[in-house]
Amino acid sequence: MALLFTVLCGAVAMSLGYFINYFAKGHFVQSTQAVIDSEIKYLDALGAIPDKKHNPGRLYVLLGPHGKLPENFPQPAKFFTEGLLVFQLSETRQRYAARIHTLKEHHKLLVGVDITAMAENFDFMQGIGVASIVFVMVVVFVSFVISVFVVDGTNKIAETAQKIIHTGDLSRRIEMKFRWDDLGNLANVLNALLDRVEELMRGVREVSDNIAHDLRTPLTRMRSHIEHLQKLQPENPGITKLLQEADQILNTFAALLRISRIETEQQRSQFTALALDQLLFDVLEFYEPLAEEKNIQLSRHLQPTPIHGDRDLLFQAFANVLDNAVKYTPAGGWINISATRRDERNVISIENSAEPFTLSELDKLFQRFYRADKSRSQPGSGLGLSLVAAVVSLHSGQVKAESYKGGLRIITIL
C-alpha cells in the first residue's frame, strides 16, 4: 500500500509540474503573439518602419535576400511555436520574440518585442514547477520511509502477539529499535502489560503448585490410613469408595505438577529423533482392546512423520487424546487417526463420532479443570487435554479442536 501511494503521489507530482510548465508556456506564447500581432497591425497602418527611438522595447530588422538575417545578428535560441523566434542580444542581454512580416514592397521585416521581463517570469514559473516536483517527490519519499517504518513496527507487534497466542510463552517481548515514536511507546506499554500478565500467571501457577505440593503429603498419609482401614474391614464398600476418591485426588495433583513442570521448565534434554507414525501405532495398539469392548471401529492412515521430541511426553499426550476419544465415543461408533506431513510440519488428526461440542465448549477444552456438561458423568479431572497442550507447546507445535461430521476432531501440528 505504501508503494502504491508512492507511485500515485509521484504521478501527481509529475502531472503538477507538467501543467505548471504547460500553462506558463501557453500564457507566455499567447501574450507574446498578441503584442507582436498588435505591432504588425501598427506597422501596416503606419505604412513605414517607425523610428526605434520612439518605440522603446521594439526591434525592426530588415532581412536580406531570401529572408536571411544579417551576419552580425544573433541566431534564434529556440522556437516556442511556429513562426515565433526567440533570441538574445549579446550586447544588452535583452531577450526578444520576433516574427517575420512581409511589407508591401515584398521586403521582409523582422518585428520583435522585448520579452525580457516576461521571459524572466516564465523562467521563474518553470523553476517553481521543478521545485514543486522535487518538493512533492521529497514528501513522497519521506512518507514512504515513514510508512515502511510504521508497517514494520506494527508487524513486529502483531508477530509477537501471534507467537504468544500460538505458543503460550508469555516471556516473549516486542523488540523495537527506536523508543522516541508512538509505536515505541506502544511497545513499551505492551511489554509492561506482558510483564504484569506473566507475573500474575506465574503467581497463579505457583499457588496451584504450592497447594499440590503441600496437600500431596497429607493426602498420601490419609490414603495409607484408608488402605489400612480397608484391610481391617475389606467388606465395607464405603472405605473402598474413599480409597478411590483419594486416588483420584492424588492423580489430579500429580497431573497438575506434571503440567506445571512441563510449562515452566521447558526441558528438552530427552529430545531425540523418532518416528511419530510408529509412536501413534503403539498408542493405537494400547487402546485397541478398549475400543473392541465398545465395538468402536478404529481406522488409521499413518504416513512417515519424523520428529525431534520427547517420546514419553508425546506418547502420554496422544494417549490422553485417544483415551478421551474412546471414553466419549458411543458404542458402535468410529475413531479415525491420520498422520501426514505438510510444509515440513507433521499434522496429526484424531476424529471420533462423539456427541458434537458447541463453539464455546471447543474454545475451553484445553483449559485446566474444564469439563463439558456432557462429560461430567465420566470419571476424570479435566486435566488430560491441558497436559496435551503443554506437551505440544514444549515441542513448538499447535493443537486445536473442531467439530467434524457430527463429532470431534483434535488436530495437532508439530
**In a shared domain, residues 20 and 65:** yes
Is the CB of residue 272 less than 8 Å from the CB of residue 304? no
Q: What's the Cα-to-Cα distance from 45 to each of 36, 42, 83, 413, rounded to whole Å?
A: 14, 5, 22, 98
- CATH code of the domain in which 367 resides: 3.30.565.10
Instruction: Identify the weakest region by mean pLDDT among 249-253, 376-380, 389-393.
Output: 376-380
**Mean pLDDT over each residue of the chain, to the nearest integer:** 77
Rounded distance between C-alpha atoms, residue 86 and residue 88, angstroms: 7
The last residue of a domain, from among 242, 265, 288: 265
Residue 82: predicted pLDDT: 56
Task: Categorize the per-residue pLDDT at 263 as very low, low, confident or very high, splitting at 50, 70 and 90.
Answer: low
**In a shared domain, residues 254 and 329:** no
Instruction: Inform me whether the pLDDT recorded for 252 exceeds 80.
Output: no
Rounded distance between C-alpha atoms, residue 160 and residue 263, angstroms: 19
**In a shared domain, residues 187 and 248:** yes
Residue 132: predicted pLDDT: 76
Instruction: Inform me whether the pLDDT recorded for 68 exceeds 60.
Output: yes
pTM over 0.85: no
pLDDT (average), residues 310-317 = 85
**In a shared domain, residues 318 and 369:** yes
Task: Categorize the per-residue pLDDT at 212 as very low, low, confident or very high, splitting at 50, 70 and 90.
Answer: low
Q: Which three cell numbers stand for residue 285?
A: 495398539
**Selected residue with higher pLDDT from 219 and 304:** 304
**In a shared domain, residues 308 and 403:** yes
**In a shared domain, residues 248 and 278:** no
pLDDT (average), residues 60-73 = 69
pLDDT (average), residues 180-195 = 83
The last residue of a domain, from among 265, 285, 304: 265
The last residue of a domain, from among 95, 125, 155: 125
Q: Which three cell numbers stand for residue 180?
A: 522516541
**Selected residue with higher pLDDT from 166 and 185:** 185
If you write DSSP's letter for every residue of 194-258 in order, what string do you get? HHHHHHHHHHHHHHHHHHHHHHHHHHHHHHHHHHHHHHH-TT-HHHHHHHHHHHHHHHHHHHHHH
**How many domains does the chain fold into?**
3
**In a shared domain, residues 297 and 257:** no
Instruction: Inform me whether the pLDDT recorded for 374 exceeds 60.
Output: no
Q: What's the Cα-to-Cα distance from 199 to each of 186, 290, 297, 337, rounded to whole Å?
A: 20, 43, 47, 39
Instruction: Inform me whether the pLDDT recorded for 373 exceeds 80.
Output: no
Task: Categorize the per-residue pLDDT at 89 as very low, low, confident or very high, splitting at 50, 70 and 90.
Answer: confident
Residue 138 in any domain: the answer is no
* H/E run at residue 60: strand 58-62
Residue 243 in any domain: the answer is yes
Instruction: Inform me whether the pLDDT recorded for 155 exceeds 80.
Output: yes
pLDDT tens digits along 104-151 = 666 777 777 777 777 777 777 777 777 877 887 788 788 888 888 888
**In a shared domain, residues 242 and 280:** no
AA letter at 268: R
**Selected residue with higher pLDDT from 307 and 358:** 307
Instruction: Inform me whether the pLDDT recorded for 264 exceeds 80.
Output: no
Estimate to the nearest angstrom the gap between the alpha carbon of 370 and the chain centroid. Answer: 34
The DSSP output letter for 373 is: G
- CATH code of the domain in which 260 resides: 1.10.287.130
Residue 294 in any domain: the answer is yes
Residue 75: predicted pLDDT: 67
**In a shared domain, residues 253 and 328:** no
Residue 162 in any domain: the answer is no
Residue 204 in any domain: the answer is yes
Residue 224: predicted pLDDT: 83
Task: Categorize the per-residue pLDDT at 4 as very low, low, confident or very high, splitting at 50, 70 and 90.
Answer: confident
Residue 24 in any domain: the answer is yes
Rounded distance between C-alpha atoms, residue 105 and residue 161, angstroms: 92
| Portion of the chain with pLDDT greater than 90, in percent | 0
**In a shared domain, residues 75 and 54:** yes
**In a shared domain, residues 6 and 105:** yes
Residue 232's domain spans which residues? Answer: 182-265
Residue 169 in any domain: the answer is no
Residue 153 in any domain: the answer is no
Instruction: Inform me whether the pLDDT recorded for 388 exceeds 70.
Output: yes
Write 130-136 long-range contacts (CB < 8 A, 24+).
Answer: 130/17, 132/13, 132/16, 132/17, 132/20, 133/13, 133/14, 133/16, 133/17, 136/9, 136/10, 136/12, 136/13, 136/16
**In a shared domain, residues 329 and 362:** yes
* Paired residues of 98 in beta bridges: 85, 112
The number of CA neighbours under 13 Å toward the Cβ of 379 is: 8
